[in-house]
Amino acid sequence: MNAEDIRRWAANHRAAAAREAAELHVQRPTGEEAFAAALALLRYDESLNGSPFERNDPVSEREDRQMWEAWAKLRARWPRGR
């Protein structure tokens, strides 16, 4: 990653924020519309990636494995007689 990548990311972020602000200013969704949109996004994500409760998440698995390995190292040093 270089400085130009960061500038491009920041410009995209500003453009997205400006568009979102403009759209919200023109027509703010009702609570029901916002909730329906959120559910539609969740359904879309589930159609692409499967259930969020059953999907394979290699990052979480790696972090869990690292946590248990660190715990095993700590326990190995702890006296068993206590």
User: 19-76, pLDDT tens digit by residue?
Assistant: 888 887 777 889 999 999 999 999 999 998 888 888 888 898 999 999 999 999 998 8
The helix/strand/coil state of 1 is coil
- Domains contained in the chain, number: 1
Residue 52 CB partners (closer than 8 Å, separation 6+): 45, 46
* 16/80: higher pLDDT: 16
- Domain presence at residue 80: no
- Domain presence at residue 41: yes
> Letter for the amino acid at 40?
A
- pLDDT, position 81: 64
Note if the pTM is more than 0.85.
Answer: no
**20 neighbors 29 (Cβ within 8 angstroms):** no
Containing structural domain, residue 21: 3-56
- Domain presence at residue 7: yes
Q: What DSSP string describes 42-79?
A: HHHHHHHH--TTTS--HHHHHHHHHHHHHHHHHHHHS-
